[in-house]
Structure 1
Amino acid sequence: MNILPCVLGLLLSAMVHAAPIPADEKPVQKVRTGFIEGWNQVPLKRLEDQAARYRGTYYLEGLHNTRRIALTFDDGPSSYTTALLKVLDKHQVKATFFFLGAQVETAPETARAALKAGHTIANHSYDHPYLTGLTPAQLWDGQFGRSQRIFKEKLGVVPALLRPPYGFIDDSQIALLAARRQKLILWSIDTQDWYVAQRLGAANALYNTVMNTVHPEAIVLMHDGGGNRAGTVEAVDMLIPALKKQGYDFVTVDRLIGTPAYLATTQ
C-alpha cells in the first residue's frame, strides 16, 4: 500500500493545528443541539475535538460570524429531493446535498436536477456504513472513491466536500481524505429529523430546533432520503422565510467556508 497520502494528510493536519487562529475567526467550533442517547450517534465532544485538531479540513460550522447559514441534506437523492428542490426554488435558496453513490445510481435524473438548479453536490459515501474499522482501501475504493466515480459518470462533477455517515470517522481516515483534497463537513445544528420523522408535528419540532439554536455561519443537518422526510420538506418551507426575517442569507457550504465545491474532473 502507498502510505504517501496518509503521511501527507498527517503533515497537513499538524500544520493546520499548529497555525495561529486569526483574530477574526471563531476560536472554537461547537454543536449547538443536544445528544440523543441510545441511537449510536457520534459523541458531541468527539466532533468538537476533531474540529479543533483538523481546523481548515474538518468543519462543524463556518469560521466567521457573518449572518449566513448553510442548509444541508443527507442520504438522497429520493422523491423527497424533488419536493425539496421545489421549496428551495420557491424561496430562491441554494443548499448542499450530500448524496449517496448508490442513490445517484438509482436516481441520476434527480441528482442532475439538483445540480442544474445550482445546488452543491457533495459525497456521503456509497452506501452509508459506519466508517471506523474500514481499511483505507474499503474507505476510499469501496465508499468515497466509488461514489466519486459515479458522480463523475452521472453528473460530470467530482465533489470536494464529503460528510462521514453518522459523523463517525477516525483520525487516520481524516488524514487520508485530506490528502485527497477533501473537506470534511459535519454540522453545528442537527435537526434530528432522523429521530422525529415518524412523529406527528415533526415539521414544527424541526422548525423549533433550528430557530432555538441558529447562529452565525451555522451548518444545518437534515435529510432528503433514508426514510419519511415529509416533515423536513415542510420545515424547510417554514424556516427559510423566518430566518430571512432575522437577516440570514442562505449559501452552499463551499461558499460558507470559501473552498471549491468540485475538483477537476480529471481527478
Structure 2
Amino acid sequence: MEQKKYELTTRGKYAVGIGAILLVLLLCFGFLAFGGSKPPADYTGIWETHDKHWVYYEKGEIDTDFTGAAEGVVNKQQGTYFVNNGEVDLTYTGLGASEAGWVYFDKGVFDNTFTGFARTGDDWYWTKDGVVDQSFTGTKSGTIEGETTWWYVEDGRAARDFEGPAKTKSGICYFKNGKLDQNYSGIKLMDDTWYYFSKGKQDKKYKGISTNDKGVWFVRNGQVDFGYTGKVTHLGRTYKVKDGVVGNGKAVYLTFDDGPGQYTGRLLGILDHHKVKATFFVTGFFKSYLDCLEREARAGHTIGVHTYTHDYEKIYKSSKDYWQDFEQMENLIQQHTGKRTAYFRFPGGSSNVISKKYKEGIMTELVKEADEKGYIYYDWNVLSGDSGDTKDPDKIYKNIVKGCAKHTHSVVLCHDIHEFTIDAMDKTIAKLLKQGYVLLPLDESTPTVHQHVNN
C-alpha cells in the first residue's frame, strides 16, 4: 500500500512539472499576444508588440507621429520598412523619407532593385536602385500615371511644367508639360542652334521650309541652315532663300470659313494657278458642294472643322452640344477625305461674346476641353473685311495687304461663300508673292494665333 502511494506521488510530481511548463508557455504566449513585449528603454526602430503587429519605437517609446523608413525585423526578416503614423504598413507601395533621402517601398519593404519613376503625393521622382536620384537633371524614359514615354527630370523630380528641347538617348526631342510632345513639328532653339522637329523628334532627313515665331526658314540636316542662299521648292512652289531666310521671312496663311459653297471650286482653281496652299474651316451647310472637301484635300490644302451647322444657339448652349456638332462635321470630313483633322476654328472666334447669350463661360470651357482632346484651334490676326465691312474686292485686297505688313505670321480671315471675296484673291495672292511672303497652309508647326477669351 505504501509502495503504491509512493508511485502515485512520483507521477504527481511529473504531472505538476509538465503543468508548470505548460503554464509558463501559456503565460509567455499571452504576454506576446496581448502586448507584453517591450524593447529596451533606449531602443529605436521597429518592434513586434504582438503577433504580426509591428510598431516604431523612439528611445523605448512608441512614436505615433513617425512616418518614413525604419530598420527592424518584420516576419523574421531584418530590413528597412515603411512606417505610417508609427505602424509598419505592408500594403504601401511608393516613396518614403529616410536618412538617405527618398527611397522606394514595394508593399512596405525597401526595394533596392527598383529603377524608374515613383510617386509621393502629386509628384513623381526618378528613382535608381531604390533611391531617388536628386542629383539628376535631364531626360528619362519611364512610366508616369500609366503613360510610358520620355520625361524631363529636374533635380530628380519629373518637371511637369517643362517645355522646350532636350537631349535623350534617342536624340534631341521636344517636350511639353514635361513629356515628349509627339504632336509637335517646327523649329526650337537649344544651345544657340535652331533645331527642326517632326512629331517631337529632331528630323535630320527633312529638307525644306519650316517656321517659328521668328520667321520662315530653310531647314536641312535637322536644323536651320543659316549658311544657305539659293532656292527651295515647298508644296509645289519655289521661293528664294538668303542666309537661311525664306522669302521676306514672313508667312501668310489664307483661311476660308463657312464653305464649301458655290464659289469654292473657282477659288481652288486660283490657288492652284499660283501654286499656293490655303486652309479651309468647313461646315456641312451647303450639302451639294461637299465634294469640294475631297478636292481640297487632294490639292494639299489644310481642312479644319468650323462645326456642322454654324448655329450659334445650338452649339453654344452646352459643351455636349458643341462637341456633338463638331463630331458630326469631323465624321463628314473623314467620309470625304479619308482622314480626320486636328484643326478647327470656333464660329465667331474664341473671343466671341454672343455665346454668353446661350451659356455663361462656355468659351472658356470649350477652349480647355479642346486642349484636353488634342485639337488645335486658330483665330486670326488679319481681317479681309468680307464678313460685313465690305463687298468691294478692291477693299478686301487692300485690307489683306495692309494687315499682313504688320505681322511675321498673318492668319487672314476670309469666307469662300462670297463671290466678291473670290474676285479679290487673284490680285491679292499675286501681290503677296511679289512682296516676298511665303503662303502656307496651317499645320502643327504654325505659331498659333489666339484671341482673348471673353466668355
TM-score range, shorter chain: 0.5 to 0.7
Paired position in structure 2 for 1:240 = 429
**Offset at residue 107 of structure 1 (A):** 2.2
Question: Identity, % of aligned pairs?
Answer: 30
Paired position in structure 2 for 1:64 = 214
Provide the rounded CA distance (Å) in 2 between the counterparts of 1:111 and 1:146: 15
Output the amino acid matched with 1:172: E
**Matching of residue 179 in structure 1 with residue 372 in structure 2:** yes
Q: Any idea what the Cα deviations from partners look like across 1:88-145, whole Å, max 9, x if unmatched? A: 0110110000010343x4422111111111111110001112277421210101x211
Paired position in structure 2 for 1:82 = 265
Provide the rounded CA distance (Å) in 1 between the counterparts of 2:215 and 2:316: 36
Paired position in structure 1 for 2:295 = 113
**Offset at residue 246 of structure 1 (A):** 1.2
Provide the rounded CA distance (Å) in 2 between the counterparts of 1:108 and 1:147: 11
> Residues 63 and 144 of structure 1: is their aligned pair in 2 closer, same or farther, counting only changes over 3 Å?
farther
Q: Which has the higher contact order (CA 8 A, sep 6+)?
A: 1
Output the amino acid matched with 2:370: L
Q: Secondary structure at the match of 2:432?
A: helix
**Offset at residue 154 of structure 1 (A):** 2.4
The answer on whether the counterparts of 2:282 and 2:304 sit within 8 Å (CA) in structure 1 is yes
> Residues 135 and 83 of structure 1: is their aligned pair in 2 closer, same or farther, counting only changes over 3 Å?
same
Output the amino acid matched with 1:126: Y
**Offset at residue 248 of structure 1 (A):** 0.4
The structure with the larger Rg is 2
Q: In structure 1, list runs of 5 or more residues that go unmatched.
A: 1-17, 23-61, 260-267
Of 381, 389, 393, 1:203 maps to: 393
Q: Any idea what the Cα deviations from partners look like across 1:194-248, whole Å, max 9, x if unmatched? A: 2145x4xx111001111112122100000012xxx22211211011111111110
Provide the rounded CA distance (Å) in 2 between the counterparts of 1:238 and 1:135: 42
Paired position in structure 2 for 1:52 = none
Which structure dedicates a bigger proportion of its chain to strand? 2
> Residues 124 and 239 of structure 1: is their aligned pair in 2 closer, same or farther, counting only changes over 3 Å?
same
The answer on whether the counterparts of 2:213 and 2:408 sit within 8 Å (CA) in structure 1 is no
Structure 1 consecutive aligned stretches of length 4 or more whose deviation exceeds 2 Å: 18-22, 62-66, 105-108, 129-134
> Residues 256 and 149 of structure 1: is their aligned pair in 2 closer, same or farther, counting only changes over 3 Å?
same
- Give matches, 1:148-167, under 5 Å: 148-167=330-349
Q: Secondary structure at the match of 1:97?
A: strand
> Residues 217 and 19 of structure 1: is their aligned pair in 2 closer, same or farther, counting only changes over 3 Å?
farther
C-alpha RMSD over aligned residues: 2.5
Which structure dedicates a bigger proportion of its chain to helix? 1
Output the amino acid matched with 1:243: L
- How many residue pairs match? The answer is 196
Provide the rounded CA distance (Å) in 1 between the counterparts of 2:444 and 2:344: 15
Q: Secondary structure at the match of 1:257?
A: coil
Output the amino acid matched with 2:412: V
> Residues 179 and 255 of structure 1: is their aligned pair in 2 closer, same or farther, counting only changes over 3 Å?
closer
Paired position in structure 1 for 2:412 = 220
The answer on whether the counterparts of 2:284 and 2:290 sit within 8 Å (CA) in structure 1 is no
